[in-house]
Structure 1
Amino acid sequence: MHTIDAHHGGHGDGRGGNGRPADGRDGGGRNGGAGRAGPRIAVVGGGIGGLVLAGMLHRHGIAATVYERDGGIDARAHGGTLDLHPESGQRALGDLGLADAFGAEARPEGENLRILDAAGRTLAHHAPEPGSGTRPEIDRGVLRKLLLTTVPGAAVSWGRHLTGVEQRPGGGHRLAFADGGRAECDLLIGADGGRSRVRPLLTDARPEHLSVHLQLTVSDADRARPAVAAFVGPGSVMALGDDLNLGAQRSGDGTVRVSVTLRADAGWLDRQRFGELSWDATVARLHGLLGGWDPGLTGLIDACDPGSLVARVIEALPVGTRWPSRADVTLLGDAAHLMPPVGEGANQAMLDGVLLAHAIAGDRDDPAAAIAAYEAEMFDRAESVGAESAMMETMGLAPDAAERVASFFTQR
């Protein structure tokens, strides 16, 4: 539950180029499945959840077109690592036939976690024996590339930033993209993150501000900053106190990502004007947030690459968000149940993807029943997981967070 979901609220990455469906039409193709035509399915967002859904539909012989905002797999940084859970993320990979491939790429040692207080004292240390861990880590970029192997290349349309959705008089939707392109579909699935453009078709619920997250990087830590690499170890460290969370996590590519999460109002980031500060002034301001903390912890800030600060707000949808079911549109992942980034977001999106695909495949003649069944399970599951995630987020930024979080992990 310690992973920060660095891609909180957006589309996933593409694989290069501005590909269009192979049939030449700018829209979802008629679905296969024993040669029988089916509804045109459009998946908005090629992130982890959207790719799981598209890959699982393909395994069922059902075509779908994924519309992804980014122009390529390396169009931007992928963020950190994810700990995949047996009952959700790993289950999805198993259903997709990727269990062995995941095992070859995963980092079991990434489960190593130390929890410290602001004085630098270790209060808890989770270090599973080799082979005994249940939630191995995998770099987000590696996972996306793995998922892309399950989706036909012609089924993904890259560089497609959704700007509008219009209800068609005869049913379904007409989609408009920033590049001027258009597409039509019978079933629209929003997998487009916390700021989903599809969600307003179903509910007026909006994400609520929770906190602020500042992330920095230490590139090639083993070579460039061996002391930092040794301190962080193979997994991550989390230091808590003074309503702050200072974290550091190793990725498989040798990068260490350092983060500071704090309880602050929605306008705090704008008032900081980080973009106008020199790097030395930025580091000094971060040190000001951690005044009185152990120098061994605040030294993580000093070790980070100049100019590497990425700042964002943390938001979540109200726990228990639901909507009346419709046969022509639904949501998955952050679009459906945006949660605090405490390790559940990607896992739940992956589980959403496989369960929605199974529902559609299991009731091909009644899409309304398939969507309703998927949403009924998803709503209950998301409410339960969302409530626990909200509790973890509150606990992690409490004045006595170090003791409470250490006790929580020790009991588990």
Structure 2
Amino acid sequence: MNSPTPANARISIIGAGPGGLTCARVLRQHGIAATVYDREPDAASRDQGGSLDLHEEDGQLALREAGLLAEFFALARTESQEERRIDPAGRLLGHRLPDEGETTRPEIDRGQLRDVLLRSLDEGAVRWGRTLASVGGPAEGPRTLTFTDGSTVETDLVIGADGAFSRVRAAVSAAVPRYTGVGFLEAWFDDVEVAHPELSALVGKGSAHVSDGERGLFAQRGSGGHLRVYLMRRVPADWLAEGGLRPDDTDRIRARLLGEYAGWAPELLRMITDNDGPYVDRPLFALPVPHTWPHAPGLTLLGDAAHLMPPLGAGVNLAMLDAAELALALAGSATVEDAVRGYEEVMLPRSAEIAGMLDGGAGFLLEVPDADELARYGRSDAGLAV
């Protein structure tokens, strides 16, 4: 079977995250239709997570191709580019304030970004409540999507934008994510200026990072007075079960954390004791480096499905860059096959290089900062109390 032209192809995108939606939007900008399938029952069924920074060289570039850069900047928080580095005794080690008018990596809530992308698509472009079970069909096409409800869809191109534990990945690669040895425990704080003014002052308008070599803490401001704190520790992936704990055992988890973080400054410990609601356990996984696969007609991957890495600022930005480049390749190629080959020839070496640089980077989040790391903040206020 000959590969169809992109304009006449049935294109299926699995996953309505930033990568999948960006791909659908850029395709739409070039008159190419695609259908996005997502397992969530609707757009509002799940909290989309905290804040993310979009970089000029990738995430913002993708939004420019999507025609959505102005909408992004209408919601983005440039002041959130402020960064603080604090030691466990509560002393400010480094402090970076953005220059006036700086837009290199402003923050936006994940939910806000998703809403911008969803509003840009035609009604019905996203099919909710469709959980992919498997991808089948012959190499010469068409491919067949089988969903857990028993329904099937024939398609000419399957784009796996379905994240860390991608079902599409299994059709092209035997690789599976591996636990990095570091886990995040997420805590939420609401109305921080009024309900948690000390934490608001401690973190500032952007983020604050503390670590002592074995454990760490990363606090990040969101919109609407929200603050998320990620408690970072070297723990087994199943540390809750090993400790006889359930996710809703908030008091017992808090007591364990206070033991682990004993000796840290009282103002920092408030990020453990004063959270609004339960903790959320988020073990960190990564794909083997490099992760590549033999070209498979009618199938490709983008974002975490292709190159899951530690959360050091690359993930969503690379997913959106992948998405835009794949969509542009489809818009500029004679056939789907030509487009996918061209896209993978660029994406796979790039992701392998970046993943190599970040390999083992989850542990970096816990390390005590050295002089080079502090220099990244642009100004050192060593010894000053926050």
- TM-score of the two chains, using structure 1 as the length reference: 0.86
The verdict on how the C-alpha distance between 1:198 and 1:251 changes in structure 2, with shifts beyond 3 A counting, is same
Specify the alignment match of 2:374 in structure 1.
Answer: 406
What is the aligned counterpart of 2:362 among 389, 393, 402?
A: 393
CA contact 1:32–1:61 (8 Å) conserved in 2: no
Tell me which amino acid in the other structure corresponds to 1:255.
H
Secondary structure, aligned partner of 1:275 = coil
Contact 1:47 1:144 in 2 (8 A): yes
Matched, 1:118 2:96: no
Aligned-residue RMSD, C-alpha: 2.0
Correspondences of 1:74-93 after superposition (within 5 Å): 74-93=44-63
Where do residues 372-383 of structure 1 align in structure 2 (5 Å cutoff)? 372-383=341-352
| Aligned residue number for residue 12 of structure 1 | none
> Is it true that 1:146 corresponds to 2:116 in the alignment?
yes
| 8 Å CA contact retained: 1:31, 1:40 | no
Local SS of the residue matching 2:185: strand
The answer as to whether partners of 2:52 and 2:110 remain within 8 angstroms in 1 is yes
Answer yes or no: is the 8 Å Cα contact 1:49–1:346 preserved in 2.
yes
Q: Alpha-carbon deviation of 1:95?
A: 0.8
8 Å contact from structure 2 (residues 217, 231) kept in 1: yes
C-alpha separation between the residues in 2 aligned to 1:404 and 1:305? 36
Query: Quick one: distance in 2 between partners of 1:285 and 1:391?
Result: 26
Residues matched between the structures, number? 375
SS of equivalent residue, structure 1 residue 153: coil
1:217 maps to 2:188 = yes
Give the percent of matched residue pairs that are identical in Structure 1 and Structure 2: 41
Q: Distance in 2 between matches of 1:287 and 1:407?
A: 31
- The Cα offsets for residues 65-93 of structure 1, whole Å up to 9 and x where unpaired, read as 10011122210111101100001000001
Cα separation, 1, equivalents of 2:39 and 2:371: 42
Amino acid at match of 1:158: W
Unaligned runs of 5+ in 1: 1-29
Question: Would the alpha carbon gap of residues 373 and 114 (structure 1) be closer, same or farther in structure 2, given more than 3 Å must change?
Answer: same
Q: Within 5 Å, give how 1:255-334 maps onto structure 2.
A: 255-275=226-246, 278-307=249-278, 309-334=279-304
Listed one character per residue, the Cα deviations across residues 285-331 of structure 1 (whole Å, up to 9, x for unaligned) are 11112121111111111110132x10021011122211111221000
Letter in 1 for 2:339: A
Q: TM-score, normalised by structure 2?
A: 0.92
Give the Cα–Cα distance (whole angstroms) in 2 for the partners of residues 408 and 253 of structure 1: 28
Aligned-residue offset at 1:403: 5.6
Contact 1:396 1:402 in 2 (8 A): no
- Which of residues 137, 140, 145 in structure 2 aligns to 1:175? 145
Q: List alignment gaps of at least 5 residues for structure 2.
A: 380-386
Residues 139 and 296, structure 2, Cα contact 8 Å, conserved in 1: no
Residue 186 and residue 209 in structure 1: after superposition, are their counterparts in 2 closer, same or farther (change >3 A)?
same
Say which of 202, 206, 219 aligns to 1:235.
Answer: 206
Q: Secondary structure of the equivalent of 1:258?
A: strand
What aligned pairs does 1:46-57 form with structure 2 within 5 A after superposition? 46-57=16-27
2:326 to 347, 351, 356: 356
For the structure 1 residues 277 and 179, does the alpha-carbon distance in structure 2 shift closer, same or farther, using more than 3 Å as the test?
closer
RCO greater where, 1 or 2, for CA within 8 Å and sep 6 or more? 2
For 2:383, the equivalent position in structure 1 comes to none
Structure 2 counterparts to residues 125-164 of structure 1, below 5 A: 125-164=95-134
Distance 2:215 2:280 in 1: 17
Match of 1:207 among 174, 177, 188: 177
Residue identity opposite 2:322 in structure 1: D
Are the equivalent residues in 2 in contact too, given 1:221–1:255 (CA < 8 A)?
Answer: yes
Cα 1:403–1:160 change in 2 (3 A) is farther
Shift of 1:110: 0.7
